[in-house]
């Protein structure tokens, strides 16, 4: 009895018995050599699995299934609204990140003038002196407007085509959270230039927060950093706008789209 | 599936290969640890002992919540399969519109066009920056962005806040609280829609009531937004504040009624086709 390991799977003998062409022989030798070291079969199995999954036959769409003769083609552009709002969100994120390089959320005054705050003069610099700054701010603002509009229209489309119905209640609710957060996104961004309109919109926000029963003062403290507007308010709006909301909204959008992916798009029958 | 099999079945079941084995195999069995039959001549590849529990059997033996989870998943998998068998859903015999390149090129074109449109808007209509914040001078017009007008309008529902005679004309909640609560009410009504309206109907004609509610809601969003900017409206149109307030609530009702009438009329001629095509395939419960 020798200590030499027996070759349980005598691939050499098996290859000899096969009567292979030179190409096949080189190929098999290389394959066996690699497989004994890397266990390629396991990965081949994965690839095979993927192949059959991607080559599944598509089911018929509803218009085909119910023989609707494509009468409802005019609905279909409305089905792009969700992806339009996502695209606008991406554009706003990129232009916003670029704007963030030139902006600081501070109500400190500059140059001895009482009203010229750091935030406001930064926005003035972006719009007046920075190369492409006016365009950048314009693009950020317009993509935000377009995103909000697309989100509202998307909600109407979902309502009037009954796409919120039975298996999709959860996504409808996530959608309501998302539309609310979109508006909060817009509101916090509206306050950042610290212009006259920003200030008084912030004033209304504080008053609204204060009129919430029971927890009003606590909410005003948390969100606006006090009962009167100031440095703390602007900084909280800034952190909400560039740090907190991006994470939350991006995550929720991913979940929202993921659920659509899993459940499929509800076409009108 | 062997869902009904119990543990005792596993252990007491006589093994079929034991019966067929010849008498002199006891010594061989003593050194055999794998338990499989080694009568094969092609190099000793032995299957796994069939006494060793499979993963699904191991799962079946677990207790408590994991056991329940397993049982539910088995049931739902079974249900899926039964439904698939019972369904007359037809799969097509050709592949669909290919994702690559057709669908991706189309998406790329639409996306580029959309981004291009935003760039054009941004270049053509640059934003206006108002004067710097000044806590000492209240501007004539205080407004949020357009998408918050509806919410802003709901804050101005003061005339609807009931005054209770019991409290001597006092209001139960202050007007400001009333406005904030109105916002919450609107949002929660929208959130409850899928729990109130169920069923397979998809088109507005199939459910004129819900479609009318939606039309009324959309019109209300616009009229309440107009109420939010009532000083601008009053400056532009010859309409008083009281009339505007009435229109805010009447116009949605009128629109909803009109939508209901139109859809109900359409329904008569429409449902026949729809029933013939659709309910024949998916009969209503």
Q: Does the beta-carbon distance from B198 to A165 stay under 8 Å? A: yes
pLDDT > 70 in chain A, percent? 87
Are residue A48 and residue A76 in the same domain, yes or no? no
Are residue A256 and residue A175 in the same domain, yes or no? yes
Minimum-distance CB partner of B92 among A57, A120, A165: A57
Q: Does the beta-carbon distance from A84 to B190 stay under 8 Å? A: no
CA distance linking residue B186 with residue B176, whole number of Å: 16
Min mean pLDDT across A31-35, B3-7, B223-227 is at: B3-7
8 Å CB contact between A171 and A258: no
Q: Which residues of B touch A123 (CB under 8 A)?
A: 129
CATH number for position A208: 1.20.810.10
Are residue A126 and residue A229 in the same domain, yes or no? yes
Are residue A196 and residue A98 in the same domain, yes or no? yes
Q: Does the beta-carbon distance from A165 to B202 stay under 8 Å? A: yes
Q: Mean pLDDT across the stretch B145-168?
A: 78
Minimum-distance CB partner of B129 among A59, A123, A143: A123
Are residue A104 and residue A231 in the same domain, yes or no? yes
Which pLDDT band holds residue A118 (cuts at 50, 70, 90)? very high
pLDDT for res B210: 95
Which pLDDT band holds residue B156 (cuts at 50, 70, 90)? confident
| pLDDT tens-digit map of A74-115 | 677 788 899 999 999 999 999 999 999 999 999 988 877 777
Q: Mean pLDDT across the stretch A182-199?
A: 94
pLDDT > 90 in chain A, percent? 55
Are residue A90 and residue A32 in the same domain, yes or no? no
Q: Which residues of A touch B118 (CB under 8 A)?
A: 88, 91, 139, 142-143, 146
Q: What total number of domains does chain A contain?
A: 2
CA distance linking residue A9 with residue B98, whole number of Å: 44
Residue B64, pLDDT > 70, answer no
How many angstroms separate the Cα of A102 from the Cα of each of A5, A63, A116, A117, A143?
A: 70, 51, 16, 14, 19
Which residue has better confidence, B4 or B203?
B203
Instruction: Give the residue numbers spanning the domain of A141.
Output: 71-263
pLDDT for res B104: 77
Are residue A177 and residue A108 in the same domain, yes or no? yes
Which pLDDT band holds residue B19 (cuts at 50, 70, 90)? very low
Phi, psi of B25 (to 5 degrees): -95, 5
| pLDDT tens-digit map of A8-54 | 667 777 788 877 888 888 888 888 888 778 777 777 778 777 776 76
- Structure-block tokens of residue B30: 């003593």
Are residue A96 and residue A226 in the same domain, yes or no? yes
Chain B (90-119) residues lying within 8 Å, Cβ to Cβ, of chain A: 90-93, 95-96, 110-111, 114-115, 118-119
| Nearest Cα residue to B126 out of A194, A141, A147, A156 | A141
B218 CB within 8 Å of a chain A CB: yes
**Structural domain includes residue A204:** yes
Are residue A147 and residue A37 in the same domain, yes or no? no
Q: Does the beta-carbon distance from A117 to B218 stay under 8 Å? A: no
| Nearest Cα residue to A197 out of B152, B139, B146 | B139
pLDDT for res A87: 95
Q: Mean pLDDT across the stretch B192-201?
A: 88
pLDDT for res A72: 58
| pLDDT tens-digit map of B137-154 | 888 778 888 999 999 888
């Amino acid at each position: 009895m020798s200590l030499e390991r027996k070759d349980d799977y005598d691939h050499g003998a098996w290859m000899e018995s096969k009567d292979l062409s030179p190409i096949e022989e080189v190929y098999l030798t290389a394959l066996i050599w690699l497989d004994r070291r890397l266990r390629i079969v396991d990965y081949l199995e994965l690839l095979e699995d993927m192949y059959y999954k991607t080559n599944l036959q598509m089911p018929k769409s509803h218009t085909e299934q119910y023989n609707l003769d494509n009468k409802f083609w005019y609905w279909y552009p409305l089905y792009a609204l969700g992806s339009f709002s996502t695209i606008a969100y991406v554009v706003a994120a990129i232009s916003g990140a670029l704007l963030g390089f030139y902006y600081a959320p501070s109500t400190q005054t500059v140059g001895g003038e009482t009203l010229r705050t750091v935030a406001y003069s930064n926005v003035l610099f972006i719009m007046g002196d920075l190369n492409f700054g006016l365009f950048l701010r314009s693009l950020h603002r317009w993509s935000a407007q377009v995103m909000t509009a697309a989100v509202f229209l998307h909600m109407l489309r979902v309502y009037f085509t009954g796409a919120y119905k039975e298996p999709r209640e959860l996504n409808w609710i996530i959608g309501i959270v998302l539309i609310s957060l979109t508006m909060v996104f817009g509101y916090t961004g509206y306050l950042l230039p610290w212009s006259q309109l920003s200030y008084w919109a912030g004033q209304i926000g504080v008053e609204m927060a204060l009129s919430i029963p029971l927890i009003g003062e606590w909410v005003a403290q948390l969100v606006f950093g006090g009962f009167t507007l100031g440095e703390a308010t602007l900084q909280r709006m800034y952190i909400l706008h560039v740090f907190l909301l991006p994470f939350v909204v991006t995550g929720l959008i991913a979940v929202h789209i993921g659920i659509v992916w899993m459940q499929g798009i509800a076409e009108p029958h | 599936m062997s869902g009904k099999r119990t543990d005792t079945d596993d252990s007491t079941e006589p093994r079929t290969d034991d019966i067929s084995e010849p008498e002199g195999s006891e010594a061989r069995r003593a050194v055999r640890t794998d338990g499989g039959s080694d009568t094969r001549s092609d190099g000793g590849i032995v299957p796994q002992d069939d006494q060793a529990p499979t993963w699904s059997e191991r799962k079946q033996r677990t207790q408590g919540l994991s056991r329940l989870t397993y049982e539910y998943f088995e049931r739902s998998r079974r249900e899926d399969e039964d439904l698939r068998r019972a369904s007359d859903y037809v799969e097509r015999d050709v592949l669909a519109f290919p994702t690559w390149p057709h669908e991706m090129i189309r998406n790329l074109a639409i996306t580029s066009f959309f981004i291009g449109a935003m760039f054009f808007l941004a270049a053509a209509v640059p934003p206006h920056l108002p004067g710097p914040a000044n806590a000492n001078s209240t501007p004539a017009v205080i407004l949020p962005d357009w998408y918050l007008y509806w919410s802003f309008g709901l804050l101005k529902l003061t005339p609807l806040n009931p005054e209770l005679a019991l409290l001597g004309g006092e209001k139960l909640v202050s007007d400001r609280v009333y406005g904030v609560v109105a916002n919450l009410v609107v949002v929660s009504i929208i959130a409850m829609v899928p729990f109130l309206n169920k069923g397979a109907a998809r088109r507005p004609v199939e459910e004129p009531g819900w479609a009318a509610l939606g039309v009324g809601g959309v019109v209300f969003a616009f009229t309440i937004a107009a109420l939010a900017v009532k000083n601008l409206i009053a400056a532009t149109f010859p309409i008083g504040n009281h009339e505007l307030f009435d229109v805010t609530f009447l116009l949605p009702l009128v629109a909803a009624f009109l939508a209901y009438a139109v859809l109900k009329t359409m329904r008569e001629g429409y449902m026949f086709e729809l029933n013939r095509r659709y309910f024949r395939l998916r009969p209503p419960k």
